[in-house]
Each structure stands twice: as structure tokens, then as C-alpha cells.
Structure 1
Amino acid sequence: MQVLTHIKREKLYWLSQIFGWGGFFIIQTAVAAYFVSFSWQVIAGYANVTLVGFILTHIYRGYIKRKQWLNLSLTNLAVRISLASVLIAMLWAVIVLPINSYYFPVEEDKPLTLGIVLVITMNLSIVVLSWSMIYFIFQLFVNYKQSEVEKWQLEAAVKDAELIALKSQVNPHFIFNSLNNIRSLVIENPEKARDMITHLSGLLRYSIQFNNKERVSLEDELEIVQNYLNLESIQFEDRLQYKLEIKPETLEMMIPPMAIQLLVENAIKHGISNLPEGGLINIKSSLNKDHLIVEVINTGQLKEGIQGTGIGLRNASDRLKLLFGKLSDLTIKNMDDRFVSASFSIPLNK
């Protein structure tokens, strides 16, 4: 990437150098032709001035890069640019004036005085100073844009690292709960334990397949959720019931993997498992203007201090914010004296 950027900057420099000095030659020749006369001497004289200026500024640029002037403070840079402009102008005048005297012979009544030489040198120093200002302003702009790109690349890398860290937290937590359920049935009901292992293998397959993705379709996520609920219903028997109220137009919408599963897991852990008679889990999806709304409703009550606790809820919330920013929202609240609602929204344009 840095090599490609360097090549592009070199190409842009040469294009700017060629077209810039080409424009300088055209303007100077046109002005001279207007006030004096258009002749081959005018073309040759200003071609000489332009060519020498082209070469000297290119050498000047190499010196700037070797001495790393871009790292200097503004005051030191201004002093160096001013001094360099005068010195280069003097060298420029020393080179071009003797050559141009061939094209423009000095008239006896209009000798080339020191005053004229100083005026020419001053004009040339203004040209060099202008070149310097354009060059450094462009370099500062390019460096600023490059720093912006590096900043966004760093933020993207941090975001990816955070997502990987969150996912690595989710998997052990989920496996731990599932293995605890299997352990409780190994002796009591080996057949059910085998069924749970079958469901668990399906869940782990999903985790391996989709956990490296930032987003999955709602349809894929619901498939894993149903496998999870089937797995849990073996342990809870008739104490756990669930239903889905999913709008068909939402099935292809993209959401963070395991987002709904984490909410369902939280509903069972903090709701259904605490009720002797068990309860119901209802999963809904709908579209509200430019947002996808997903809601998990479960029997139970949200106790004080539960909201925002638990690694599952924190990870679900963090994933939403990392992927969709402030436009996403995860909330959990008591709907009434019987049910708790956990819902999140995702902007469709993201």
C-alpha cells in the first residue's frame, strides 16, 4: 500500500511539474509577445528560463526530501524557504542571463545594470517562493489525507479486534451452559442426553460457520435459535414453550450472529428457569420505517439490578454498537406484571 501510494505521489509530482512549468512558459511567452513582439528569440529565451527553473526546482525538491523539511517547525521552515528562494533565484539568474544575452543582445543605450539584474533576481525568487508554497501546501494536504486513512484503518482494525474478542467471550459461555445441561441428564436420561449432544453439535457447527462473519441473515439466526430452544426444551420438558411471529419481509435482513440467541438464552436464564411452572418465549420481527425491530418476550419479571448485567447482554449490545453505531439500540424492560421484553433495532441503510 505504501509503495503504491509512493508511486502515485511521484506520478502526480511529475505531472504537476510538467504542466506547471508548461503553463509558466506559455504565460510568460504570451505576455512578452504582447508587449514586445512575437519571435523565435522570445520563445527560445523563455524556453531557457523555463527549463532551468524546471531543473533547479527538481533539485531543490530532492534537497528538501533529504533534509526532511516537512518535519520542521513552521518558523524554521519559513526561514529556510525564504533563504532557498533567494539563493535559487540568484543561481537561476546567473545561468539564464548569459544564455539569453545571445537571444536578446544588449543595446548600447540600455546596458544590463546591477539594478536590472536585482529586479530579475527578485522576480525569479518570487517564482521559486510560489513554487515552494504550492509544493509544501500540497505535501501537507497529502500527509493529512494519509493520516486520515491510517486513522480509519486503525479504527477498523480495533473494531475487528473488539468483535473477535466479543465472539470469543460468547462461545465459551454458551458451551458452558449447554454442557451443564447435558451433564445433568447423562445419568437420568441417556437418550435425551444423546439428543442434546446432537443439537449441540448443530449449534457448534453454526458457530464455526457464521461466527467469523459480521452479519448473518435473520433466517439463519432463527434456525440456530430454534435448535437452541429445542435443546433447552428437552431439559425443561413441558415447562418451556416458544413461538415465532416473524414477518416474511424481515427474513433476509442482516443482524449480528448470535444476537437473538443471546437474548433467548438470557430470557431462559433469568426468566423461565426461575419459574416453577415455566413459561413462554415469543420471538417477533417487524419493520418500522427504516429500522428492523427484533423482540424477544418471555414470561417473568425483570428484577432490579438485572438490566445490563451478564456477559451475554453486554456482548449483544456491544456487537450492535460496533456494527451499527449509535443508530442501533438494545433495551430490556418489563412489559407488564407477567412478561419481560428484550428488543433491539437495526438501521436498514447500514
Structure 2
Amino acid sequence: MTADPSGLGDVPLVSESVQRTRSYAYNAVTSFVNSSLRVVDFGFIGPETMGTLLGVGVTAQLRPDTDTSDLVARIPTRGAAEQGLRLFHSRTAADLVAPVAVLRRQQLSGEALLGAFLDDDTQPLSFIRTSLGVYDRGPVGRKAWSQGGSLLFPTATDQLYGWASFDDTLPVFPQPNGLPYSTPESEVTDIQDMARVLGNGPLDFAEEYFPTRITTDVGFSQAGFRAGDLAHVRYAGGPAARPRLTVFAADGVTDRKAPPQRPGDVVVVAPGYDHLDVVTASPRQNDGQPEDTAAAVVDFMLTHAGSVATAEPADRDGAVSAQTVARRLRAIR
């Protein structure tokens, strides 16, 4: 969490030469990106797939318990949406290239359809997983081609599958190691909350495009470049001068190694959480406690609010002071 990890900005002669030399590279890269490669296309996960997720969220709200086969049939059979459909919902490698995607032959309720797309027991991509619950009935099998064959897969095509949300009674489907896929401790997000996050807007939950400039600008910024569009990047040492809170999902995409500790730093590992759960977990968890991210943020604010503001009760521009926020938080707790 620093804008100048190399420290070049602190050495005037080096910094000046760096700005001059890198300006040529920056201008060349930026011109190329703007003219030829504005967006990185991942094929199976892009605008079509993300648009499908929005539709799945709306479907889970409007038809939570009824069959959605007619809606799945309207997903385009070519392009990224179809590629995503096969990647997410194939049981074997052969299913990936079958004439008809497996999901188009199954009967899933609106909630089960959403679970099939995003739940940690069904979704092979860790960065779009959340802990929503599990299918409410069988029969189920395991996906043989991904995650070591450990993901759930509905095997019947002649019955409707529903969904047990995180705080419902969870059916016991054993993993290869004999442990159940879902327990009250490992499920943290209400599926209807997730449906609203996906479908209600006003903005999309997931970015539909991946701008190349994000990568190139971050790269040049991290290398100490401060000209052109990056002339306004300032206070490279700012993050290092303040306490920081880091919340890890215990089952997320990282290896959960804590960042370097400094005085005031707080690291929280949220048990049972997957990647998206850090921002979507239900406010009240199955153990009756507040969810971990919100609790950590509130505690962090209460600890540090007094050190960053003295205005009472509002600053002159009308903004509520940190002390006022802290008092309100204490009253809530």
C-alpha cells in the first residue's frame, strides 16, 4: 500500500531522470492502449457473462422457487455467455464441448440457478465465489474436471432443484474427505441479499470490462512515474503513515498471509468467508454475532476516530466529524 515502493521519488536526480526516460515509454504504451487494446477480453468472462449474472440476480428475486429453464434457454448459445455457462456448469471435460450445455437440460429454481453460478460449492473460479448455502435436495454428484473433483453438481434432469440459504437447515452432502459441503459455520451470505446486490443496481456489481489502462497506469505509478496522466499521484508515503485494517476471507483467493505489521495495523481473517463474502455476508451470522467485516471496520473506526478529527459536531464544510461518527457507532453497539 504505497505509491512509490522503489523510493525513487525521494532522490531528486534519480527521480528527474526517471521521469524523462519513462515518459517516452509511458507515452508509447498509452498511445498503443488507447488505439488498439483498450479492454482485455477474457472470452468466457466479460460483458456477456456479467450481464448474465445481473439477469440471474433478478431471476432469483422474482422466481426464487420456480423453474427457470425457459429463461436459461434465452441465454445466447454462442459467444462469451455460452463459454461461461459451460465453464461454470460442466461436470466432466466432455461436457465442455457437448452439443448442448448441461445447464440447459436441468431444472433449477431461481435461487438454485444463482447458487449454481456463485456458490463456493459449485463455482470453479475463486474470485466470484460466495458462501450462499447448498442445493436443498439431491441427487448430486461432483464435478470431475475442476477443483480436484470437489465441487457439487446436480445430476438429475427430471426434477426441480431448490436452494437452502445460509441460515436454513442445510442438507448433508459429503465431500470426498467425508466432511459435509455445507455447515452453519461455513455459510455466511443470504442468497436473497446476493440476488439484490446483483440485480437491483443502479450500478453493476461486477465490472463488465477490464480496462488495460488500469494495469499500465498502476505499473508506471508503482515504478515512480509522475508525469502525464499520473502527475496528480501524490503522497507516496501516506499509506505507510497511517494504521491499516486488512480483512481476509479464510477461503478466499489469497494465501491469507498477513501483510507487514506496523503499530496500529489490524489483520482479521474471516472464517468461512469466500472472496465476495467480505462485502456481501449477512449482517447477523448463524452464531448470532455481527458479520466479521463490519465488526472489524466499526472497531477500527472507534479505535482511531479520535486521532484524526477534533471538529464537533461537524466541520465547517458540513461534513460529519469522525468523533460524531464514533459516538453514533457506540450508540448502535
Q: Report if TM-score (shorter chain) is over 0.5.
A: no
More strand by share: 1
TM range (shorter): under 0.3
Task: Point out which structure has higher relative CO (alpha carbons under 8 A, 6+ apart).
Answer: 2
Q: TM-score, normalised by structure 1?
A: 0.22
More helix by share: 1
Q: TM-score, normalised by structure 2?
A: 0.23
